[in-house]
Structure 1
Amino acid sequence: MHMLLPDQDQSWKEEVVTMDIWMKGSLKASCLYGQLPKFQDGDVTLYQSSAILQHLGHSFGLYGKDHQEAALLDVVNDGVKDLRCRYTLLIYTNYEAGKEEYPFEMLLSQNEGGHAFIVGNQIFFADYNLLDLLLIQQVLATRCLDSFSLLSVYVACLSTRPMLKVFLAFPQHMNRPINGNGKQ
């Protein structure tokens, strides 16, 4: 959602929650599942990053041109969620054994030979989720995409979208910690 909103030229207000505020407990108690993020869109309050991203995808017409593309985007988004769950092991303990865990290279090759987005011919909500994960992985393991030429080009192309490029260069984005491990 941090990439989708600026890339779609949408403004938003982010309230950064410090660990001190979180540990006081009142905010945590008010959050569904006792966790962040929490996203307010008018009268709708949403929790869970993926649900928020999908909501934004629907809101801005970034959920596929038809039911088939929407279903493929759900497959990609769920695949990104699965990889997010596994990437700690992949990056920190056994990267070499996990390289085959990038099915997105195959998906790209099936979509206009890898010269397009992950699904269809325009950016959709799942592209932002995948890009975010791949950029994080490149911070943690700079060479993780070296064997994946289509994913490397995909990341490079999306990262140069004018509004996204500006956002990615913001100090607030560049200095955001990853997983609380001190890496930025």
Structure 2
Amino acid sequence: MSKPVIHYFPIRGRAEVLRLAIVASGDDFDTVDVNYSEQKGDRDKYPFGQSPRLVDGDLDIVQSNTIARYLARKYNLQGKTEKEMCTVDMIMEGVESLRIKYVNLIYNDQLAEAAKEAYWKTYFDKETTTGRNGGAHIQYIANFLAKNGGQYCAGDSLTIADLCLWDVLDLHLRIFPDQIQEAYPELVKFHSEIAELPGIKEYLAGPKRLAEPNANKLG
């Protein structure tokens, strides 16, 4: 059987969760680099004008969260019960809300010091969870993990929600390592433990993991 093929820019970006889902399940993937003109010009392959795109057998899928949910179903990472599945979906939506804010910090604010300070205060400072943050705050997501015992976000085994949380944590640990360690040691522990899981550990240390998380080399 052929491997799933991820078509994406040669950066980690939103495709990182997809890669993690595949390798955590003991499978492997191939990649195809995509250029800007191709994804904007080929509406058959890129109907929304963007990547990632996953080709898996006769399936050809775009939209990162759609692909993530497909992989979750394929590899049994979607949760075992309806309650767990709903929790997984809620966490995925929460992570996406925070990721949108992160993308703005990276590409629009260019990681300026004043922007970083405002970002931390709005989306990470525990005292601001009741403020106007557009529903995006790491504490909201951390609450799910704590309520479930701290090892996994939902149920008693790995789900796509854990990989989404791990990825967004990984991005922020590159920017706020000391602050996150001090304010959210439980999230740092979670991040370290997920990184040691079979398949994930080898991927993170291997050549298929790309060095740059973002196209502008920030973060």
TM-score, normalised with respect to structure 2 = 0.74
Equivalent position SS for 1:145: helix
**Separation in structure 2 between the aligned mates of residue 134 and residue 3 of structure 1, nearest angstrom:** 14
Corresponding residue for residue 128 of structure 1: 163
Counterpart among 166, 176, 185 of residue 149 in structure 1: 185
Corresponding residue for residue 201 of structure 2: 165
**Separation in structure 2 between the aligned mates of residue 28 and residue 169 of structure 1, nearest angstrom:** 35
Corresponding residue for residue 217 of structure 2: 182
Q: CA deviation at 1:128?
A: 1.0
Corresponding residue for residue 49 of structure 1: 64
**Separation in structure 2 between the aligned mates of residue 75 and residue 60 of structure 1, nearest angstrom:** 19
**Separation in structure 2 between the aligned mates of residue 61 and residue 89 of structure 1, nearest angstrom:** 32
Corresponding residue for residue 95 of structure 1: 119
The answer (yes or no) to whether the contact 1:168–1:174 under 8 Å persists in 2 is no
1:106-157 deviations in Å (ceiling 9; x for gaps): 1111112x2x201111000111111111111112332342211221111011
Q: CA deviation at 1:158?
A: 0.3
Structure with the larger helix share: 1
The answer (yes or no) to whether the contact 1:89–1:95 under 8 Å persists in 2 is no
Corresponding residue for residue 137 of structure 1: 172
The answer (yes or no) to whether the contact 1:76–1:126 under 8 Å persists in 2 is yes
Counterpart among 77, 80, 83 of residue 62 in structure 1: 77
- Verify: 1:4 aligned to 2:4, yes or no: no
Q: Cα distance 1:29–1:63, how it changes in 2: closer, same or farther (>3 A)?
A: closer
Q: What letter corresponds to residue 108 of structure 1 in structure 2?
A: L
* RMSD over aligned Cα atoms: 2.0
**Separation in structure 1 between the aligned mates of residue 32 and residue 19 of structure 2, nearest angstrom:** 12
Counterpart among 66, 69, 74 of residue 89 in structure 2: 74
The answer (yes or no) to whether the contact 2:41–2:49 under 8 Å persists in 1 is no
The answer (yes or no) to whether the contact 1:80–1:133 under 8 Å persists in 2 is yes
Q: CA deviation at 1:104?
A: 2.0
**Separation in structure 1 between the aligned mates of residue 24 and residue 161 of structure 2, nearest angstrom:** 13
Q: Which runs of 5+ in 1 are unaligned?
A: none
Percent identical across equivalent pairs? 23
Q: CA deviation at 1:28?
A: 6.0
Q: What letter corresponds to residue 12 of structure 1 in structure 2?
A: F
Equivalent position SS for 2:54: strand
The answer (yes or no) to whether the contact 1:159–1:165 under 8 Å persists in 2 is yes
**Separation in structure 2 between the aligned mates of residue 143 and residue 95 of structure 1, nearest angstrom:** 15
Corresponding residue for residue 23 of structure 1: 37
**Separation in structure 1 between the aligned mates of residue 21 and residue 52 of structure 2, nearest angstrom:** 15
Corresponding residue for residue 118 of structure 1: 153
Q: Which runs of 5+ in 2 are unaligned?
A: 1-17, 127-136
Pick which of 4-13 and 81-90 moved more. 81-90
Q: CA deviation at 1:174?
A: 4.5
The answer (yes or no) to whether the contact 1:64–1:124 under 8 Å persists in 2 is yes
TM-score, normalised with respect to structure 1 = 0.87
Q: Cα distance 1:28–1:179, how it changes in 2: closer, same or farther (>3 A)?
A: farther
